[in-house]
Amino acid sequence: MMAEEKIVFSKEFTEEETADRVLGLWFFIGAEIVLFGCLFGVYLTLNNHTVPGESPGELFELKQTILATFLLLSSSFTCAQSFLGAKKNHYKKSFFFLISTFVLGAAFLGLEAHEFFKYVREGHTFTSSPFMSSFYILVGTHGTHVLAGCTWMVLLLIHLKRERITSYTKAKLEAFSLYWHFVDVVWIFIFTVVYLIGKAGIIY
Amino acid sequence: MKLSLNVRQWIGFFLMLTFSGIAFYLVMSIGTIPLWLLIMLLILAVIQATIQLVWFMDIQQGRRGYKWVTISSGLLIAGLAILYLMLLE
């Protein structure tokens, strides 16, 4: 006898309820733009306040960072595909791409943790210079958002597995998808402003 | 001819990877950044962000105005914070 998967019936959302939740997330994104804007401002103000041997040019390893960037950009695409699958009621496609997003997000986190660990082991800690403080705060806040996103994804995967695709799980996936793309947008600017421009330095 | 959302997302994905790769290559090969390259790097980043905002972060048709009001108000305050902090320096 084949084992049957147990599907739990979830509540349903009207279109209006889904739209309200998505709108709520947009307001949250507005607040997040302000948060990251302030952190970028702090970084741009303090990135010249370094100690010998601790400048962005000497610290950053761009090959690892471009790999992390590709991972996060790919995770953004798989997340979009997952939501697209949900919109078309393709449970398997949606579930597969959400798991892929989680794996890519976790790999990105692993690379970031490895980078931070390397700096700390070399003695470049949070308090060693104003530049390091602003770097850890900016990149660490972004990493915390990725971690929160990964936790959110685990909960979504449980919901999807139990309830399959309903208007309720679709609304949750849509809200998550917006959040994840926003985290990706922030990373694009961190990669450009902190790593690329920081590593090479500017000719004045 | 309007491309489907799926096709647009595939195109957007490859464009983002390509632009990140170009930015990385330019910095690795040129070294210290002249002004034109700084502007180009920032333009590449803005294009990638725009691809995300337009092709990946969709909102219901009747509520598109809210999306852009939220983004622009957030950017206005963030921009002012960056300006004040840099002037403070």
Cβ neighbours of residue B44 under 8 Å, at least 6 residues apart?
A: A192, B19, B20, B22, B23
B contact test, residue of A94, A192, A195 with most B CBs within 10 A: A192
Taking CB atoms and an 8 Å limit, are B42 and A192 in contact across chains? yes
- B51 and B70: one domain? no
pLDDT at A40 over 60: yes
In whole angstroms, give the CA distance from residue A142 to residue A184.
9
The answer to whether A41 faces chain B, any CB pair under 8 Å, is yes
- A5 in a structural domain: no
How deeply is A196 buried, as exposed, middle or buried, from its count of CB atoms within 10 A (0-12, 13-18, 19+)?
buried
Mean pLDDT of the A68-80 span: 96
> In a 3-state reduction of DSSP, which class is residue A23?
helix
Contact with chain B for residue A137, Cβ under 8 A: no
List C-alpha distances in Å: A24 to A30, A112, A179. 10, 30, 11
Given this model, what pLDDT does residue A32 score? 94
Same domain, B7 and B25: yes
| Nearest CB neighbour to A26, from listed B33, B70, B89 | B70
Distances in whole angstroms, Cα of residue B23 to Cα of each of A106, A154, B17, B53? 24, 33, 10, 20
- A54 vs A135: CA distance, rounded Å: 12
Q: Greatest CA span in chain A, whole angstroms?
A: 75
Is the residue at A2 inside a domain?
Answer: no
Q: Is the pLDDT of residue A174 over 60?
A: yes
Q: A66 vs B21: CB contact, 8 Å cut-off? A: yes
3-state helix, strand, coil in chain B (%, to 5): 85, 0, 15
Phi and psi, residue A6, nearest 5°: -85, 120
Q: Are residues B52 and B29 in the same domain?
A: yes
Q: Is A128 among the domain residues?
A: yes
Q: How confident is the model over A109-133, as a mean pLDDT?
A: 93
Per DSSP (E only), the strands in chain B are none
Neighbouring CB atoms inside 10 A of B8's CB total 16
Domain interval for residue B22? 1-58
Q: Are residues B8 and B37 in the same domain?
A: yes
Q: Is residue A58 part of a domain?
A: yes
pLDDT recorded at residue A1: 46
Report the domain count for chain B. Answer: 2
Q: Would you call A111 an interface residue with chain B, using a CB distance cutoff of 8 Å?
A: no
Q: Residue A16's pLDDT band (boundaries 50, 70, 90)?
A: confident
Asked if residues B53 and B74 have their Cβ atoms less than 8 Å apart, the reply is no
Could you tell me if B34 and B64 lie in one domain? no
Mean pLDDT confidence for A56-83? 93
Q: Are residues B8 and B26 in the same domain?
A: yes
Q: What proportion of chain A, given as a percentage, has pLDDT over 90?
A: 66
For residues A88-111, average pLDDT: 95
What would the mean pLDDT of A175-188 be, rounded to a whole number?
A: 95
In a domain, residue A61? The reply is yes
Would residue A179 be called left, alpha or beta, if left means φ above 0 and alpha means ψ between -120 and 50 degrees? Answer: alpha
ipTM of the prediction = 0.91
pLDDT at A92 over 70: yes
Structural domain that includes position A107? 17-200
B87 touches chain A (CB under 8 A): no
**d(C-alpha B49, C-alpha A5), whole Å:** 41
Do B65 and B37 share a structural domain?
no
**Taking 80 as the threshold, does the pLDDT of residue A55 lie above it?**
yes
Residues B65 and B85 in one domain: yes
Contact A37 B82 (CB under 8 A): yes
Q: Is the pLDDT of residue A203 over 70?
A: no
Nearest to A80 among B9, B35, B83 (CB): B9
* Residue B19: pLDDT over 90: yes
Question: For residue A143, what is the domain's CATH number?
Answer: 1.20.120.80
In tens, the pLDDT along B28-82 reads: 998 888 888 899 999 999 999 999 998 888 766 667 788 888 899 999 999 999 8
Categorize the per-residue pLDDT at A5 as very low, low, confident or very high, splitting at 50, 70 and 90.
Answer: low
On whether both B28 and B8 belong to a single domain, the answer is yes
Residue at A8 is within a domain: no
Please tell me the total count of domains within chain A. 1
**CA count, 13 A, side-chain hemisphere, A155:** 10
Q: What is the pLDDT of residue A108?
A: 97
Number of A to B CB contacts under 8 A, please give it. Answer: 146
- The answer to whether residue A153 scores a pLDDT higher than 70 is yes
CA A60 – CA A195 distance, rounded (Å)? 7
What is chain A's percent helix, strand, coil content, to nearest 5? Answer: 80, 0, 20
Judgement on whether residues B29 and B70 belong to the same structural domain of the protein: no
Instruction: Look at B56 and A181 and tell me if their CB atoms are within 8 Å.
Output: yes
Which of A9, A15, A23, A28 lies closest to A170 in space, CA to CA?
A15
Q: Residue A79 has what pLDDT?
A: 95
Alpha-carbon dihedral sign for residues A137, A143, A144, A145: positive
Residue A1 in any domain: the answer is: no
- The reply to whether B36 and B16 lie within a common domain is yes
